[in-house]
């Protein structure tokens, strides 16, 4: 295959959590590269604002609380009905819980697992069936370095466990889709400059940064670049991979 310029012209892409932070950067770049973007988010005010900024002819949005598994499935099915098809799924939405292990409540555990893992399974499964019938597609999950190292200063037990599940799910989906033209990969960021990471104390942030070879946090657009590569035809021989976007923290760990 010849070298190619990445383009998403004519593609329809679903981005969960696309109203802000990393998801917003992904949605904007997809649209700039030709895709029609469907944002799935619980915050309709921010989703509508993002769509206006992108251009409503290139962006639409649907509201869903990812805690509600039945609603997740209904929303994915509605997106397919109303848009005709989905070529790309980006599972970006997620929450973090920073409670110490001994202070973590079952309620918090259940909520993090529901949003960060179960919703990813449901969106993958629902759109996998559509992609199979439609001749293929691409799925990219935003996991985390926490899923490889078992948590840390931002995402502790529940978050790390959910993201480890996403990493394993990614491999399972890739194996199931290999003969069907469905690719599935994930990106594992480390510290990324979003409001979610502002909860770190200065001391904890410096400890995290000292573990990164680049000694800085990522911008959302830098994580988005990795996601878009995996969502594109340029990654035509990559599936089941969980690529670190971590500033040299693990170096293929």
Q: Which of 62, 153, 159, 183 is catalytic?
A: 159
Cβ atoms of residues 204 and 233 within 8 Å: no
Q: Catalytic: 159?
A: yes
d(CA 178, CA 136): 9
Q: Of 57, 58, 62, 59, give the one whose Cα is nearest residue 79.
A: 62
Q: Of 14, 183, 199, give the one whose Cα is nearest residue 89.
A: 14
d(CA 226, CA 200): 24
Judge residue 231's burial from the number of C-beta atoms within 10 Å of its C-beta, 0-12 exposed, 13-18 middle, 19 or more buried: buried
Q: Which residues are catalytic?
A: 159
């Amino acid at each position: 295959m010849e070298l190619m310029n990445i383009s998403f012209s004519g593609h329809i892409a679903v981005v969960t959590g696309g109203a802000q932070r990393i998801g917003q950067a992904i949605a904007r770049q997809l649209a700039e590269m030709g895709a029609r973007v469907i944002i799935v988010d619980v915050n309709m005010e921010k989703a509508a604002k993002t769509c206006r900024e992108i251009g409503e002819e290139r962006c639409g949005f649907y509201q869903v609380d990812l805690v509600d598994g039945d609603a997740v499935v209904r929303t994915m099915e509605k997106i397919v009905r109303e848009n005709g098809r989905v070529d790309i799924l980006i599972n970006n939405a997620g929450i973090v819980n920073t409670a110490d292990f001994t202070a973590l409540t079952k309620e918090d555990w259940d909520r993090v697992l529901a949003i960060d893992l179960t919703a990813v399974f449901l969106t993958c499964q629902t759109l996998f069936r559509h992609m199979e019938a439609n001749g293929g597609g691409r799925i990219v999950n935003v996991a985390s370095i926490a899923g490889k190292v078992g948590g840390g200063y931002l995402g502790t037990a529940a978050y790390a466990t959910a993201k480890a599940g996403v990493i394993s799910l990614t491999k399972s989906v890739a194996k199931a889709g290999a003969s069907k033209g469905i690719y599935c990969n994930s990106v594992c960021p480390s510290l990324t400059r979003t409001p979610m990471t502002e909860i770190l104390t200065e001391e904890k942030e410096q400890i995290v940064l000292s573990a990164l070879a680049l000694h800085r946090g990522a911008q959302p657009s830098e994580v988005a670049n990795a996601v878009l590569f995996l969502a594109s035809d340029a990654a035509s021989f990559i599936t089941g991979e969980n690529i670190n976007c971590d500033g040299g923290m693990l170096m293929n760990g």
